Structure 1
Amino acid sequence: MSFTRTLRVVGSVVVAGALLFGSAPAASADQIRDDQWPLKAFDAESVWKVSTGKGVTVAVIDDAVNGSHPDLKGNVLPGKDVSNGGAADHESVNDHGTSMASIIAGHGHGAGNAQGVKGLAPDAKILPVAIPGEDDVPDPNAESLADALNFAVDNGASVINMSLSHPVLTEKEKEALSKAIKKDVFLVVGTGNDGVGRLGQLPSYPGVVAVGAVDKTGKVWDRSNYGPETMLAAPGTFIRSAAASKPYRLANGTSDATAYVSGAAALLRAKFPDLTAGQIANRLVKTAGLPAGKEGMKLPDPHYGYGFIKPYSALTKDIPTGSKNGPLKTPQAEPSTAPGGATVAGSSGSGNEQATGQKDSGLGMGAIVGIAVGVLVVVGIIVLVVVRQKKNDRNGPPPGGFGGPGGGVGFPPQPGGPYQQQGAYQQPGPYQQQPGAPGAYPPAPPTQPPGQ
């Protein structure tokens, strides 16, 4: 099965519009770095004083990556091409994987690394895992995504970036996603670039962080897919990144937004190594921002989720650790067959609730009382039946026998459901600027690239 990359290339266009996210552009000796408006928006220089993603491995399931690019050299591991075998760090034709890798962990080049593309987590390592693209002819029997996920998990990735469109999941792919979630891997997926109000099975899968794209003003990109599963948004228009077939590219897409969220997750995993993936998501959600005029909206919103990421705030604000799963749902377990052929259904929910009916291998007081009441009821019924039977032995059964509707009283099912919290991650106030970001928020939106 081939996969659609969720990014659109922009032609030669001028990056226009005011920065809602942060400071005005500063003078730089390199135009490529100047084009990276998200770094200015995030006040990346302040971010990197707190965390650079050092020690974190981010798997990029995508095209293979050009690990020799001057902005990536040394940050790309060999990885694997799961369809064709071999490493995945020598790409020279397909650009998408290299683009995502550079947004996440590019380090630039030249004096002081001031030239070229710099990623949000410049000291993170990229584990490239290549899968077939739109133009490839894959083995119809291959399970590329499942194999890629398993390879990433087995080779130390704590964040997995999936900037791709994959509408329907196979059972093997669901198993691989569930394995990654159980291994506490932070999974990030783009919502897609069709501008439609529905998400495929991959971004909708419980435990996955689905990401939409916003522009420089914080407004949702008009081609960003949306739905109730959207959790976060990030910069996704006029994004400058490295490439494999040429030095650099400029593009729109939820792919780019996904890569920025993966970069932010790498920063947080380096800063807070003891936090679970759900608790990392909690920090991103609790510190997310909304554009002017949208502060009072009900969250999560189908377009914004809980808002666009603010990495510096996520790294530095005093956020309660929260539950293990945070805002992430847990996958529903597949039914399994018990001894004797009985089917045991799985459950879904946040995973934070204690299993009902058992604690420390013993029964709770409520269960004991319930059993005692049930025993008394059964004894009463037996006595009543015996008495009636003796009477009927004398008088004979009524016409039609002793039949009648059955019945009984049982315990209602316990609610599962997604993670819930008072306030539902409502943002208390307007978007706050990053440190060192003077000025107001001009309302002028950027010019959209023609034909995109």
Structure 2
Amino acid sequence: MRRTGAWMRGLSTAALLSVSLSLAGVFAPAAQAYDNPRQGEWYLDVLHMSDVWQVANGSGVTVAVIDTGVKADHPDLVGQLLPGKDFSGLPGGADTDPDGHGTGMASIIAGSGKGFNGNGVIGLAPGARILPIKIDAERDPSKVLPAPVFMKQIDQAITYAADQGAKVINISQAVRSVDVAPSDVADLQNAVNYAIGHGSVIVAGAGNSGQQGNPVMYPADSAGVAAIAAHDQNGASTAESENGSYIALAAPGVNTVEACLAASGYCQGTGTSDSSAMISAAAAILFSEHPSWTGNQVLRVLISTANKAKSGANHTDYLGFGNISIRTAVRYTGDPGPADVNPLVQAGISVMPPASAFLPGTASSTAPSAGASVQPSAPASGAPAPSSSAAPAPAKSASSSSGSSSLPFIVGIVVAAVLVVGGAAFFLARRKRTAASFEAGPGAGGQEPPYGYPMPPQQGQYGTPAPPPYQAPPPPGGNPYREG
């Protein structure tokens, strides 16, 4: 998930392009403008956040952001952070961010909107507090960590987040399975299991290599982790968003606006990082409204109240169990299901790559069995499942202001590259470099996007779609949703 550009006052598109960097080519941005960053947050209307905030806003909930750190003095984040932890070994501490990625994620989740004269970025859960946990997500190819070392930092960060009482753990980072050994995956799974056992929900971006081989990514593919895909303003999956049977949910991931290190303080982004941050915010809102729920229950309700496919499919490889509907979820009043059963593990939707997908020379025998320590010994089959039909019918929300200004903000492009060292790469689940495309409001009347028609299915990589999340997983040896 990668940053695409910065909001800049009084600069022409040509000027912005002249200072843009790209190791994969330069994209020409559209000369679209808004008066202020808030007007660029098109998804606030689409997700009916004004209605949601009348019920809950994430108050009292801690969201851990495992990322590049968070710029604590950004106007939209002042007062929104808790004391964090730095596992990166880099100078500065968790409340500093040399990259800006973590700052962006924190603002999407819990930005106060106080910047830019009160028109800055407001997060989907502005009442939540961010626990910044810094890891070394260096983008300089000469300094990038080996993938196993990077994975170890994620393990430590997840465990720390759980110990600090973070109810939601956001990880907008991704590592290809081909770059790690099964033992690395097993260690990661242990950390994931530990956090889930403490009642947390873990959210991770699926990655943005859907058009570059669509590799299996961790921690998104770890059993019990909610792997998040990106959808556009029309509710359709984006081309770069990775796909597979392990996808849990989808959220807006195109032309987002967030806090960053640019001179203006704001950037535009596209990618599954942004989508995962929105799902994390949604989880925080549910925890705020239902503090006694576990992460398993929060995740189950988010899944069950999501906008389903027009085709009637319960799950697809491109958008998982559906596009998030926070308004429906926060109004749900039924049974959230068993507290100790992870719905994703129960459905068996994570994918364990075959031995050939791991680093050469490593054995596959140490690879964890998906959900081995997450799935209870006696799963509660037949437990009441939440249904979106129990929620009130959707209603239109007021669209955001779209006034004019003599000093508009123009979106530029800043492009980063995939990090490769010695043939092994880890991917920041960063934003896709796309041309800026702002309009006064996507769609008609701010309606929630339908679950978009997915791209044509690909055969042979992930097998058949997963069963609904409330039935018991297939018996051992007969799981059709996992390779190898």
The alignment's TM-score, normalised by the length of structure 1, stands at: 0.69
CA distance in 1, matches of 2:197, 2:447: 42
Q: For residues 90-139 of structure 1, what are the alpha-carbon distances to aligned partners after superposition, in whole Å with 9 as ceiling and x for unaligned?
A: 22x3111000000000011169x741100000011111111112425366
CA distance in 2, matches of 1:442, 1:321: 23
Residue in 2 that maps onto 1:248: 266
Task: Quote the offset at 1:299 in angstroms.
Answer: 1.9
Task: Quote the offset at 1:348 in angstroms.
Answer: 3.2
Going from structure 1 to structure 2, the CA distance change for 1:252 and 1:432 (only over 3 Å counts) comes to farther
Residue in 2 that maps onto 1:318: 333
CA distance in 2, matches of 1:266, 1:30: 30
Conservation of the 8 A alpha-carbon contact between 2:59 and 2:127: yes
CA distance in 2, matches of 1:319, 1:423: 9
Paired residue for 2:235, among 211, 218, 222? 218
Paired residue for 1:118, among 122, 139, 152? 122
Q: For residues 279-332 of structure 1, what are the alpha-carbon distances to aligned partners after superposition, in whole Å with 9 as ceiling and x for unaligned?
A: 101111111014xxx423322110111111111110002332212225231799
SS at match of 1:166: strand
Residue in 2 that maps onto 1:370: none
Residue in 2 that maps onto 1:207: 224
Conservation of the 8 A alpha-carbon contact between 2:230 and 2:241: yes
The yes-or-no answer on 1:87 pairing with 2:93 is: yes
Going from structure 1 to structure 2, the CA distance change for 1:233 and 1:420 (only over 3 Å counts) comes to farther
The yes-or-no answer on 1:151 pairing with 2:160 is: yes
SS at match of 1:40: helix
CA distance in 2, matches of 1:441, 1:316: 17
Residue in 2 that maps onto 1:97: 102
Going from structure 1 to structure 2, the CA distance change for 1:131 and 1:326 (only over 3 Å counts) comes to closer
Task: Quote the offset at 1:76 in angstroms.
Answer: 1.4
SS at match of 2:58: coil
Going from structure 1 to structure 2, the CA distance change for 1:306 and 1:425 (only over 3 Å counts) comes to farther
The yes-or-no answer on 1:287 pairing with 2:305 is: yes
Conservation of the 8 A alpha-carbon contact between 1:78 and 1:87: no
Structure 1 range deviating more: 345-354 or 113-122 = 345-354
Paired residue for 2:135, among 115, 131, 143? 131
Residue in 2 that maps onto 1:358: none
CA distance in 1, matches of 2:373, 2:197: 14
Residue type at the aligned position of 1:436: S
Q: For residues 249-291 of structure 1, what are the alpha-carbon distances to aligned partners after superposition, in whole Å with 9 as ceiling and x for unaligned?
A: 001100000000000000011110111111101111111014x
What are the equivalent positions in structure 2 for 1:22-421 lying under 5 Å apart? 30-84=35-89, 87-91=93-97, 93-109=98-114, 114-135=118-139, 137=143, 142=149, 143-168=152-177, 170=184, 171-196=186-211, 197-246=214-263, 247-290=265-308, 294-324=309-339, 325-329=341-345, 348=372, 351-354=375-378
Going from structure 1 to structure 2, the CA distance change for 1:245 and 1:277 (only over 3 Å counts) comes to same
Task: Quote the offset at 1:424 in angstroms.
Answer: 9.2
Matched residue pairs, number?
346
Residue in 2 that maps onto 1:404: none
Instruction: Specify which structure has the bigger relative contact order, considering alpha-carbon pairs within 8 angstroms and separated by 6 or more residues.
Output: 2
Conservation of the 8 A alpha-carbon contact between 1:306 and 1:425: no
Going from structure 1 to structure 2, the CA distance change for 1:74 and 1:350 (only over 3 Å counts) comes to closer
Q: For residues 367-402 of structure 1, what are the alpha-carbon distances to aligned partners after superposition, in whole Å with 9 as ceiling and x for unaligned?
A: xxxxxxxxxxxxxxxxxxxxxxxxxxxxxxxxxxxx
CA distance in 1, matches of 2:67, 2:292: 28
SS at match of 2:133: strand
Going from structure 1 to structure 2, the CA distance change for 1:434 and 1:231 (only over 3 Å counts) comes to farther
SS at match of 1:117: coil
Going from structure 1 to structure 2, the CA distance change for 1:8 and 1:421 (only over 3 Å counts) comes to farther
Structure 1 range deviating more: 277-286 or 169-178 = 169-178
Residue type at the aligned position of 2:108: I
Task: Quote the offset at 1:88 in angstroms.
Answer: 0.8
Task: Quote the offset at 1:176 in angstroms.
Answer: 1.4
CA distance in 2, matches of 1:223, 1:425: 31
CA distance in 2, matches of 1:195, 1:144: 26
Identical positions, percent: 34
In structure 1, the gaps of 5 or more residues are 1-5, 17-28, 333-344, 355-415, 444-452
Please tell me the root mean square deviation across aligned C-alpha atoms, in Å: 3.4
CA distance in 1, matches of 2:139, 2:202: 25
CA distance in 2, matches of 1:51, 1:239: 22
CA distance in 2, matches of 1:203, 1:14: 35
Conservation of the 8 A alpha-carbon contact between 2:124 and 2:282: yes
Q: For residues 171-230 of structure 1, what are the alpha-carbon distances to aligned partners after superposition, in whole Å with 9 as ceiling and x for unaligned?
A: 332221221111111100111101155532421111100100001110111110000010
Residue in 2 that maps onto 1:449: none
Residue type at the aligned position of 1:116: G
CA distance in 2, matches of 1:281, 1:213: 17
Q: For residues 3-61 of structure 1, what are the alpha-carbon distances to aligned partners after superposition, in whole Å with 9 as ceiling and x for unaligned?
A: xxx23415743679xxxxxxxxxxxx952101001111112111111111111111111
Conservation of the 8 A alpha-carbon contact between 2:103 and 2:260: yes
Conservation of the 8 A alpha-carbon contact between 1:94 and 1:245: no
The alignment's TM-score, normalised by the length of structure 2, stands at: 0.64
Conservation of the 8 A alpha-carbon contact between 1:299 and 1:424: no
Conservation of the 8 A alpha-carbon contact between 1:299 and 1:306: yes
SS at match of 2:120: strand
Residue in 1 that maps onto 2:2: 7
